[in-house]
Amino acid sequence: MTNLETDATASGAEAPLADLYRPYVASLNAYQFERLDTFVHSDVRINGEQGGLAAYRQGLAEVVVAFPDYHWRLDHLLVSGNWLAAKFTDFGTHLGTFLGVPPSGKTVRTFELAHYRFDHNKITEVWGTGFAQQLLEQVREP
């Protein structure tokens, strides 16, 4: 296993996954969810469930509708075989309804860990922390 920082240059057999993943993150931050089929398999499994690409897109879209300046900052990558682990710091401003919570105007920051399995250069499985719960905790009234 090799630790690949976001500014590090990947090398050897692990380089392709990191090189596939960074443009995926860039498309997230550009809110180009229509491009996700370039990176994500149509039958992607999400936290062990057969969610599919449509559900994956919808989940991301719900975040950026509620937090229109949302940003995924990739802090670390770890690659092992066909698995990639990523650590993010995410942030944005709550300006739209999120999971039933009306806009609060609060700036949020979350830490996200995600594991991705790749097959044929596409993400086929995603396991992630419950960053939505972190967002809710920060935007709800005290």
- For residue range 6-42, list pLDDT tens digits in order: 433 443 444 589 999 999 999 999 999 999 999 999 9
Token code pair at residue 139:
């935007």
| 117-141 tens-digit pLDDT | 999 999 999 999 877 888 999 999 7
**CA 76, 109, 24 angle in degrees (round to 5)?**
45
CB distance 3 to 10 below 8 Å? no
- What tens digit of pLDDT does each residue of 70-122 get? 999 999 999 999 999 999 999 999 999 999 999 999 999 999 999 999 999 99
DSSP string spanning the chain?
-EEEETTSPP-GGGHHHHHHHHHHHHHHHTT-GGGGGGTEEEEEEETTB--HHHHHHHHHHHHHHHSTT-EEEEEEEEEETTEEEEEEEEEEE--S-BTTBPP---EEEEEEEEEEEEETTEEEEEEE--HHHHHHHHHS--
Which listed CATH number (2.120.10.30, 3.40.50.170, 3.50.50.60, 3.10.450.50) goes with 2-139?
A: 3.10.450.50
Q: Where are the domains of the chain?
A: 2-139
Q: Are 131 and 104 in contact (CB under 8 A)?
A: no
